[in-house]
Amino acid sequence: MEVTIATENTNAPVRDGDGPRINQDIKAKEVRLINYNGENLGVVSLKEALHIAEDVGLDLIEISPQVNPPVCKVLDYGKYKYEQQKKKNEAKKNQKVVSIKELKLRPMIDTHDYEVKLKQAKKFLAQGDKVKFTMRFKGRELSANDMGKEVLNKLIEDLEGICKVDAAPKLEGKQMFMMVSPA
């Protein structure tokens, strides 16, 4: 007795869990086909599209699954994944990461300490970072929170032209917050 075992093509690409559907994974009966030259071949059956892709030795990749019928391209899947990864890396490279630097103050701050905090804020803003000022109140200072607001308003005046105020001074519990970003 002879037993034959059906084997899959081991050279066929395997789809990632989050990647586009390819070849036999495509569920639509008809697809809008774009060949390997970029020419639109119109709406064809899935079998015909798979046959066209197989004839040229490439894969059928579902590019736009949300439209009806879905758009499929005849491409090399490995090359397609490589180009998608390159685009992703390029987008990541061009992305600007904005970090938030925090400066903590007290309402009874001395002039020298104030100047040091002001200098640090200018440095952070010059680097393109946002600055969060936190005014902490202890004990009876909370009843005179207008002193803290005066210090924060003086900071706004001294940083005028360098920054814009994202969040005006606001009291939350025993702290007053203010956020500024580079102009």
Contact 30, 71 (CB under 8 A): no
| Superfamily (CATH) of domain 23-94 | Translation initiation factor 3 (IF-3), N-terminal domain (3.10.20.80)
Strand partners, 43: 32
Give the model's pLDDT for residue 115: 93
Strands 175-182 and 130-136: antiparallel
Q: Is the peptide bond before 20 cis (omega within 30 degrees of 0)?
A: no
Give the model's pLDDT for residue 122: 92
**H runs (alpha helix) in the chain:** 46-55, 77-94, 111-126, 145-158
Give the model's pLDDT for residue 42: 83
From CA 128, how far away is CA 98, in angstroms rounded?
A: 7
Give the model's pLDDT for residue 18: 67
CATH of 100-182, one of 1.10.8.50, 3.30.110.10, 3.90.920.10, 3.30.930.10: 3.30.110.10
- Write the Ramachandran bin of 128: left for phi over 0, alpha for psi from -120 to 50, otherwise beta: left
In a structure prediction context, what are the per-residue pLDDT tens digits for the chain, which is 183 residues long?
555 555 445 455 655 566 777 887 788 788 888 888 878 888 888 888 888 888 888 888 888 888 888 888 888 888 888 888 998 888 888 877 778 899 999 988 899 999 999 999 999 989 888 999 999 988 888 887 788 888 899 988 998 888 888 888 888 888 899 999 988
**Per-domain boundaries in the chain:** 23-94, 100-182
Matching fold, domains 23-94 and 100-182: no
Give the model's pLDDT for residue 104: 92
Type of residue found at 61 = I
From CA 121, how far away is CA 27, in angstroms rounded?
A: 57
Give the model's pLDDT for residue 143: 82
Per-residue H/E/C for 13-35: CCCCCCCCCEHHHCCCCEEEEEC
Give the model's pLDDT for residue 120: 93
Give the model's pLDDT for residue 94: 80
